[in-house]
Structure 1
Amino acid sequence: MSFKNSLNVLGEALVPCSFDPLTGWFRDGCCETGPHDRGRHIVCAVMTDEFLAFSKACGNDLSTPVPQYSFPGLKAGDKWCVCLDRWREAYAAGKAPKVVLKATHQVALERVPLETFREYAA
């Protein structure tokens, strides 16, 4: 599946989220999804220390490097395709990171209104 055929939350062509660090379910830089992506890694978020701590407390440590998987560990300012439900949990807890609308997959609108994403636009 290619991001070139997908739309973002604005109804435009989906653009890449990050190549450094390389993100996305398919590790192609894009917040694309597919049938095996149960977490729906479709929200392009700009990492903050607060969100990274929240995610770690929820059981998903995104800040610690995992060299065997070529994962550098994330830091504040990095862009990363996060799971839709994790972003929603962070939002409910008042710890949601900013979102890159042009790089966030339109499927996210099934669970989060565009108005909410606009409030958190990077």
Structure 2
Amino acid sequence: MAKNVLGTDLVTCSTDPMTGFYRDGCCNTGGDDSGLHTVCCQVTAEFLEFSKARGNDLSTPMPVYRFPGLKPGDRWCLCAARWKEAFDAGAAPAVVLEACHISTLEFASLDELKAYAVD
């Protein structure tokens, strides 16, 4: 079983909307996940605007990718590099530590993640 950033078993991020690179509800990753969708975040309006301004519109549905479009409060497996970019810009969304894949620590420190933890 995959581990989270706390070193315990990775838990589900969201099944409504269904998230994860593999659309299994978890922020699992593998060799085919070049974006490393490992950060379970709870999106905010501020973050959605930040991401859209960076060329990644997460609000608009894209059925071809089984992507429903996100609204504030939704939980989603976000690319680790995008979360870190938002963190550095002061626009990072909250994270669910138990649902963030351990490989997230290659991009952000546990202290940085803990500063944005929800539960």
RMSD: 0.9
> 2:95: which partner in 1?
99
* Aligned pair partner of 1:90 in 83, 86, 90: 86
> 1:53: which partner in 2?
49
* Aligned pair partner of 2:115 in 91, 116, 119: 119
Structure 2 residue ranges without an equivalent (≥5): none
* Aligned pair partner of 2:75 in 76, 79, 83: 79
In structure 2, distance between residues paired with 1:110 and 1:60:
22
In structure 2, distance between residues paired with 1:72 and 1:93:
26
* Identical aligned residues as a percent: 58
Match of 2:87, SS? helix
In structure 2, distance between residues paired with 1:14 and 1:82:
15
In structure 1, distance between residues paired with 2:30 and 2:65:
21
**Where has structure 1 moved over 4 Å in runs of 4 or more?**
none
Match of 1:55, SS? helix
Q: Deviations over 1:62-92 (max 9, x none)?
A: 1011234332210000000000000000001
Alpha-carbon spacing, 1:68–1:38, altered in 2? closer, same or farther (3 Å) = closer
Structure 1 residue ranges without an equivalent (≥5): none
* Aligned pair partner of 2:37 in 37, 41, 54: 41
- Give aligned pairs, total: 118
Q: What TM-score results when the alignment is normalised by the length of structure 2?
A: 0.96
Q: Deviations over 1:6-54 (max 9, x none)?
A: 0000110000100000000000000000101111000000010010111
